[in-house]
Structure 1
Amino acid sequence: MEKINKNVLNQVIAQRDPQSYKGNYGKILIIAGSTQFGGASILCSSAAVNSGAGLVTVATTPEKFTAINVRIPEAMTIDYHQKHDLAQAIQNNEVIAIGPGLGTSSIAKGLVKAALRLTTTHQTLILDASALTLIAQEKIPVDTKANIVMTPHQGEWQRLSHLPINEQIPENNFKQLQSLNSQAVLILKKHLSEIYYQDQVFQIQAGNPGMATGGMGDTLTGIMAGFIGQFGYSLETISAALLIHSLIADKLYKDNYVVLPSKIISKLPKYMKKFSQIK
């Protein structure tokens, strides 16, 4: 198992070209939120914006538009009940993240199926939270031409893989990942989180118990979407997103009993600037 080195942040996070514009930094669609779980869509989209994504659109339930527009004026909103608008948004964005706070209703099930059906080559689809639960419950095939990134915590991975937590060892995880989608990247969120891809496994040496709070995974998904949108889909980009999330959390944990996801989000521009200047 290879350890993820901080050098990956210097390699991935590039200084911005003076001649660039928002279209150079990725078009991100986040399909998230529901009546009960509106905060997840806010954290995920805020993380994408603060990690530098050029254009972020949030597909959610309309009753959450005001909260999103007030908290994240940089993000656009669309109604995920409008099938034509949603289909266009899926096809017109480079990175689609689905699942945070989505719930497991029949509407959510249709959204997950649409994301898998409509994404194609040169796009990246990040499957998180409720999307993973629905795939496990409804036995939805993880079948798309897009790059797939799955971000389960150990409980979600147990539902997907049918592996009890004590059996989630690299050999078993690889076997189950192959059966789900042989080309997918698995980010297994745990103490010292791991990345699996084909026959490679990587582990971060960061993270702390202060991160055990709601919204932490939603924040990681937003960072992941923002990084892939800007820096391209690669294991290095995915590793950098995972690592910076935990490194900022470790800095905050030194002076705080609990690490709030919103605090990590607020620190992202500063830390990205720092690592962009180290070459």
Structure 2
Amino acid sequence: MKIFSVDQIRLADKFTIERQNITSDMLMERAGEQVFRWLHSQLNGNPVKIHVFCGIGNNGGDGLVVARYLMEQGYNIEVYVVNFSDNRSKDFLLNFDRIKNLKYWPKLLTEGDDFPQINPDEIVVDAIFGIGLNRPPVDWVSNLIGHINKAGTFVLSVDIPSGLYMDKSVEKSDAVIRANYTLTFQLPKLIFLLPETGIYTYEWLLVDIGQDQQFLIEEEADAFYIDVNNARSLYKPRQRFSHKGTYGHALVVGGSYGKTGAALMCTEAALSAGAGLVTAYVPKCGYQSIQTAFPEAMVITDDKETHISAVDFDIKPTAVAIGVGMGKHKETVKAFADFLSENKLPLVIDADGINILAEHKELLKHLKGKAVLTPHPKELERFIGSWKNDFEKLEKAKQFSTENDVVLMIKGAYTKTIYHKKVYVNSTGNPGMATGGSGDVLTGIISGLIAQQYSLLNAAIFGAYIHGLAGDLASQRSGLEALTATDIIDFMGDAFLALFKNDTADRQQKSEEDE
């Protein structure tokens, strides 16, 4: 699913109006009606009081449409026009007249007016500012936003929480609506998926307003939101006449004294992701634990008891995961560097492998076109330097990926996979996955997929999705606090099944109908 810039959203509206031969206010009517339909489905006529705050631009016009539909259905509403400028959009004025035709005059709020009382058991519909905002609201409007936030009521924002910008970070955090829910039009917005700006809406939901499909398909995008349909398109089905050699051989290089578990979880995840064979390359101290805990794995040991001193093997893997629990012993660093200088295989580099790279950036030249890097935020900072905000972080990450020709993954909520100038935002996962070992499991999944001949980019995108989905399913059993990395592995099979759950149900229903 594409993520558009503000200019592309405006173009989508323009082409929709032209190609569907409709007026701009008709498109506004669609948007407002869809917001109303969602709200009506939740309330079902509940007499709760609803406060609708409308700006004087197109977002305010959307709010007036919502208010009109609510009024026509007999809801208890109060409508306010936040009069922060003398400039009003024509579609706002048109819908202002339409609501007045119902013999209702919205209350005009201007500087110096008392703010309306809002009780915690009431509802606020926020339609003050839309996607065009590019500077902080004037002080009295900022104070109004603060008044709404302090009311403790349920807040529904129309398209975007008022006060947010589409393409930069917030300047005044107390001048942004904190929405419980945002109904956003047609496509996701990047600001919902970034840590600094995503906090202003607890949940968001897409609302289809019928924008021109040809434009949505043909317009190029720099960012994508990976949902179940995108994940399905990446999946490679198993073939009936196949064998373990068909699905590749993943090699996991890692572990050290006290951190063998990282290599174990990575190894198990690689096999659970579908690799035909998996071998763990660990120090001698890890041999017995891996052979005992995971008999499906093969194990090669280093000459050293407590750490890896050389990466030397006579097998022929199709993908290598390296770095998990590996440590940074002097001999390990040299072994890692020597391995990279000779390696021709596709790699997934994590944990201490990333830390060693960050300290020895001359090694990056060996990775071009054949590595996925999976840093957490602190590890990422060692690569690209500090950043002022999330937008700068993304730009620096894109530059790093482009210069070094690597797939770069930024782990966290809405994990982002970056390759050159493109960003792929994952839709699955939950806060319970912020736990030790979760990253080791992700590394194993990606390497297991690469072993099966998924491209580096597709393996990273699809691996992040399956990893998050398994975590979501696991959390339904354990809750968030008790979720562990091995729980994620336990639910990987369920995650693969869930990819096609709706398809299976649809086929079964169709079969029953045919009978």
Query: Is residue 366 of structure 2 the alignment partner of residue 117 of structure 1?
Result: no
Question: Are 2:449 and 1:211 equivalent residues in the alignment?
Answer: no
1:116 alignment partner AA: L
TM-score by length of 1: 0.89
Specify the SS of the correspondent of 2:455. coil
Greater relative contact order structure (CA < 8 Å, 6+ sep): 1
Aligned-pair identity (%) = 29
Change (3 A) 1:264 1:212: same
Letter in 1 for 2:493: P
Look up the match of 2:229: 7
Q: Residue deviations 1:89-119, cap 9 Å, x none?
A: 4x72110110100011112212321331222
Cα distance in 1 for partners of 2:331, 2:230 equals 39
The equivalent of 1:153 in structure 2 is: 376
Aligned residues: 274
Q: Which stretch shows the higher mean deviation, 242-251 or 213-222?
A: 242-251
Distance 2:500 2:341 in 1: 36
Structure 1: 5+ residue runs without aligned partners? none
Aligned-pair CA distance for 1:25: 0.6
Q: CA RMSD in A?
A: 2.4
Distance 1:128 1:102, change over 3 A: same
Residue 474 of structure 2 aligns with an amino acid whose one-letter code is L
> Tell me, what secondary structure is at the counterpart of 1:92?
coil
AA of the residue aligned to 1:78:
I
Separation in 2 of the partners of 1:84 and 1:107? 5
In 2, distance between residues paired with 1:205 and 1:125?
Answer: 24
Tell me if structure 2 keeps the 8 A contact 1:113–1:140: no
Whose radius of gyration is greater, 1 or 2? 2
CA positional deviation for 1:231: 4.2
Structure 2: distance between partners of 1:161 and 1:114: 24
User: Structure 1 CA distance, aligned partners of 2:233 and 2:329?
Assistant: 41
After the TM superposition, which residues 44-59 of structure 1 pair with which residues of structure 2 at under 5 Å, given as runs? 44-59=266-281
The one of 485, 493, 506 aligned to 1:261: 485
Q: Which ranges in structure 2 are unaligned for 5 or more consecutive residues?
A: 1-222, 505-515
Tell me the equivalent position of 2:265: 43
Correspondence for 2:312: 87
Match of 2:284 among 62, 67, 70: 62
1:238 equivalent in alignment to 2:463: no
- Find the aligned partners of 2:375 and 2:388 in 1 and give their Cα distance: 12
CA contact (8 A) 2:273 2:448 kept: yes
The residue type paired with residue 115 of structure 1 is F
Task: Measure, in 2, the Cα distance between the counterparts of 1:171 and 1:275.
Answer: 32
Provide Cα deviations, 1:38-66, integer angstroms capped at 9, x if missing partner. 11011100101111111111110011111
Q: 1:108 aligns with which of 308, 320, 332?
A: 332
Q: What is the TM-score normalised by the length of structure 2?
A: 0.50
Give me the whole-angstrom Cα distance separating, in 2, the residues matched to 1:131 and 1:81: 20
Q: Structure 1 residues 10, 217: CA separation in 2 closer, same or farther (over 3 Å shift)?
A: same
